[in-house]
Chain A
Amino acid sequence: MTQVARPAPRRLDAFELPSEPGNERLALARVAETVQGLGLSDSRLEKLKTAVAEATMNAIEHGNGNRAEIPVEVEVTQNGDEIIVAISDQGGEVSSTPKPAEEPDLLKKLDGGQSPRGWGLFLIRNMVDAMDITINGQRHTIWLTMRTGGAAHGEHV
């Protein structure tokens, strides 16, 4: 059987942002520009932008505690038909992606049984094809994977 060599992952971009509220907009704009022309449909690009914004917001707020001097690091790579965005902070064991005690439940939120907040991680999971988290010492990274031409949760193509 002949094996076809898979191309090595290719780094498309890497940048840092000060941990200041609102800078997630800079991250999503730059990632969108980086992945332009790689085959993501408009709707899947919008999903990736939302996931990047939410993950960056978590990194700024929860991971780095809004301390501007601690940067959020963003790296974009392409591995075959996968676009992978890695967003790192220095939150370590203090997860930058707070895990709510339970899944967001709109009815409970409307009735006061849950905080109106707590949608970030839920949105991320529903926007991308895969989401992984790694912790290495203080370095906390969320990995967002989006396949070009694929379909995220519940999406019709």
Chain B
Amino acid sequence: MASMCEAMTRVLPGAAVIELSGEVDGSAADVLTNAYQTAVGTHADLGTVVLDFAGVDYINSTGIALIVSVLARARAERRKVVACGLSPHYREIFDITRLSDFIELFPDLDHAVSQLTGPAA
């Protein structure tokens, strides 16, 4: 089954942002893994990975499993994962699964970035 998920990656000072769109399900494994690798591959010192779900309209249990895998890898590499752009429904699923105990949630990318990069000089 072709993936209906797309990912764009960009690097900010100290953090990489993975902007996801479409559907995060089992078919998104390669997309998410490659995006993570692109995000951190050339910036080994990156401390934080931001998962932006603003363009995502569907996450299922196999998508949750992919997010768990990304989080596990990031933890092993001593990186922090934060998320933004989740709908209230998926925020609740992050609460129920306890993902929100390990992934700080922000309403949108602006809030996440301003929190991570601090006030402008």
Whether A123 contacts B71 by the Cβ 8 Å rule is no
Please report the C-alpha to C-alpha distance between residue A110 and residue B97 in the assembled complex, in whole angstroms.
12
Whether A126 contacts B60 by the Cβ 8 Å rule is no
Please report the C-alpha to C-alpha distance between residue A119 and residue B89 in the assembled complex, in whole angstroms.
16
B75 at the interface (CB under 8 A from A): yes
A31–chain B nearest beta-carbon distance, Å: 14
Whether A22 contacts B102 by the Cβ 8 Å rule is no
Whether B88 contacts A106 by the Cβ 8 Å rule is no
A41–chain B nearest beta-carbon distance, Å: 11
Whether A54 contacts B61 by the Cβ 8 Å rule is yes
Of the listed residues A24, A53, A119, A126, the one surrounded by the most CB atoms of chain B closer than 10 A to its CB is: A119
List the 7 closest A-B pairs by CB distance, nearest first.
Answer: A119-B61, A46-B89, A116-B68, A116-B65, A120-B61, A117-B65, A106-B98
Q: Which A residues contact B (CB, under 8 angstroms)?
A: 21-22, 24-25, 43, 46-47, 50, 53-54, 57, 104, 106, 109-112, 115-120, 122-123, 126, 154
A-B contact pairs, 30 of them (CB 8 A): A21-B27, A22-B1, A25-B23, A43-B88, A46-B87, A46-B89, A47-B89, A50-B60, A50-B89, A53-B60, A54-B61, A57-B61, A104-B97, A106-B68, A109-B68, A110-B71, A110-B72, A111-B72, A116-B66, A116-B72, A117-B61, A117-B62, A119-B61, A119-B64, A119-B65, A123-B61, A123-B64, A123-B93, A123-B96, A126-B96
